[in-house]
Amino acid sequence: MPFEELPHQADVRVRVTAGSCDGLFAEAARAMFAVMYVTCGRGELERSLSVNAPDMPGLLVDFLSELLFISEVERVVFSSFRVEVTGTSLEAVACGEPFSPEKHRGGMEIKGVSYSGLRIFRDGELFCSEILFDV
Amino acid sequence: MLAGIERIDEVEWEVPIGYVPGMRVPGRFYLSGDLAGTLETEAVQQLANVAVLPGIVRYALAMPDIHSGYGFPIGGVAAFEQDTGIISPGGVGYDINCGVRLIATPLTPADITNPRALIEALFTTVPTGVGAESEMRISRHDLEEIMIEGVDWAVAAGYGTEQDTVHCEEGGKMPGADVVPVSKKARQRGMPQAGTLGSGNHFLEIQAVDAVFDDDAARTFGLHPGQVCFMVHCGSRGLGHQICTDHLRTLESATRRYGLEIPDRQLACAPVHSPEGEAYFGAMAAAANYAWVNRQVITHQVRTVLNRMYGIAHEEMPLVYDVAHNVAKMETHVVEKGRRTLCVHRKGATRAFGPGCPEVPQDYRSVGQPVIIPGSMGSASYVLRGTKTAMEKTFGSTCHGAGRVMSRTKAKNATAGSDVRKDLLKRGIVVRATSDASIAEEAPDAYKESDKVVDVVRRAGLSLPVVRLRPIGVIKG
Kindly tell me if the per-residue pLDDT of B265 is higher than 70: yes
Compute the nearest-CA separation of A123 from chain B (Å): 23
Residue spans of alpha helices (H) in B136-236: 140-149, 151-156, 162-166, 184-190, 215-221
In chain B, whose CA is at the least distance from the CA of A107?
B130
Q: What is the DSSP letter of A54?
A: S
Mean residue pLDDT across chain B: 95
Is residue B400 flagged as an active site residue?
Answer: yes
**Shortest Cα distance, chain B CAs vs residue A50, angstroms:** 16
The pLDDT tens digits for B407-437 are 877 887 888 888 889 989 999 899 998 888 7
Q: Chain B contact for A74, CB < 8 A? A: no
CA B131 to chain centroid:
22
Over the stretch B66-84, which tens digit does the pLDDT of each residue have? 999 999 999 999 999 999 9
Q: Judge whether A36 is closer than 8 Å to chain B, CB to CB.
A: yes
* CB of B248 less than 8 A from some CB of A: yes
Task: For chain A, give every domain's residue range.
Answer: 3-134
Q: What percent of chain B has pLDDT over 90?
A: 83
Q: What is the CATH number of domain A3-134?
A: 3.55.10.10
Dist CA A52 CA B400 (whole Å): 38
pLDDT in tens, B162-220: 999 999 999 999 999 999 999 999 999 999 999 999 988 899 999 999 999 999 999 99
| Region A100-109 average pLDDT | 83
At B24 the pLDDT is: 98
Complex confidence, ipTM: 0.95
Please, which pLDDT band fits residue B256 given cuts at 50, 70 and 90?
very high
| Predicted pLDDT at A1 | 56
**Is a pLDDT exceeding 90 seen at residue B113?**
yes
The three-point CA angle B256-B259-B264 to 5° equals 60
* Tens digit of each residue's pLDDT (9 = 90 or more) over B214-251: 999 999 999 999 999 999 999 999 999 999 999 999 99
| Residue B2 CA: distances (Å) to CA of A92, B12, B20, B50, B65 | 45, 14, 15, 18, 16
Asked if residue B402 has pLDDT above 90, the reply is no
Domains detected in chain B = 6-405+447-476 (3.90.1860.10)
Choose the catalytic residue: B247, B300, B333, B400: B400
